């Protein structure tokens, strides 16, 4: 089934507020979480409704095993600009291998930025934030393109992220991706051939 959708996140939106889910999980090892199947949505409905009722925009999914490692933000992949690197959770089988995730990684590598696909614990993000090393957080997906994240609640911790300026990595990437989609920009992407 296909259908057209309006802009999912208003670009003038101040950024998403997420609640890290420490009870429910979206996907578990050995399941179908890596794939774009309609069934994956079912597990997200109740927890998402609960966090929305509490005033958040979306759930921050943690791993099913220990509830320690960050997986995705709602139904979009998540990225951190941490210290000097663009960091996103590695694909473990419980994270959807999104094309937008792949596009952001490809652009970042093409721009000669340090890129890491690895495990990221919620604790590491709290520490990075306390040390002033958490520069940006954003979600990526076809519907959202790039959606800046301004707040994460994990248990009693509140993490606030302030960099939503025009020259942020997230905004630069959004302009590059939509520019390519609309045929307004030509970018020779060198990394593409290596990963495909
Ligand atoms: C669709 C989806 C994404 C984003 O994938 P894209 O291919 O970039 O649209 C990320 N996570 C989940 C769970 C999804 O369903």
Of 35, 141, 174, the residue with max ligand 1 atoms within 8 A of its CB, to mutate for a pocket test, comes to 141
Question: pLDDT tens, position by position, for the chain (196 residues)?
Answer: 787 766 666 666 788 999 999 999 999 999 999 999 988 989 999 999 999 999 999 999 999 999 999 999 999 999 999 999 999 999 999 999 999 999 999 999 999 999 999 999 999 999 999 999 999 999 999 988 999 999 999 999 999 998 667 789 999 999 999 999 999 987 666 655 544 4
Ligand 1 centre distance from Cα of residue 151 (Å): 21
In the CATH hierarchy, which fold is given to the domain comprising 16-192?
D-amino Acid Aminotransferase; Chain A, domain 2 (3.20.10)
Domain ranges of the chain: 16-192
Name the token pair of 167: 């020259």
Give the DSSP letter string of 34-100.
TS--THHHHHHHHHHHHHHHTT-SEEEEE-TTTS-BEEEETTEEEEEEETTEEEEE---SSS---HH
In this prediction the pTM is 0.91
* Pocket of ligand 1 from Cβ distances under 6 Å: 36, 72, 75-77, 96, 98-101, 141-142
């Amino acid at each position: 089934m296909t259908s057209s959708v309006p802009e999912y996140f208003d670009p003038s939106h101040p950024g998403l507020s997420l609640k890290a889910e420490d009870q429910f999980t979206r996907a578990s090892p050995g399941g179908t979480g890596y794939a774009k199947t309609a069934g994956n949505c079912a597990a997200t409905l109740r927890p998402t409704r609960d966090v929305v009722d509490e005033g958040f925009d979306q759930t921050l999914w943690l791993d099913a095993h220990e509830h320690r490692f960050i997986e995705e933000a709602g139904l979009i992949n998540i990225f951190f600009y941490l210290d000097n690197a663009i960091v996103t959770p590695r694909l473990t089988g419980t994270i959807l291998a999104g094309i937008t995730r792949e596009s952001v990684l490809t652009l970042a590598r093409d721009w000669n930025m340090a890129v890491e696909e690895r495990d990221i614990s919620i604790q590491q993000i709290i520490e990075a934030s306390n040390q002033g090393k958490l520069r940006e957080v954003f979600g990526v997906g076809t519907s959202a393109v790039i959606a800046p994240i301004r707040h994460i609640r994990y248990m009693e911790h509140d993490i606030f992220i302030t960099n939503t300026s025009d020259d942020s990595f997230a905004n630069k990437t959004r302009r590059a991706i939509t520019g390519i989609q609309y045929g307004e920009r030509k970018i020779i992407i060198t990394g593409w051939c290596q990963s495909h």
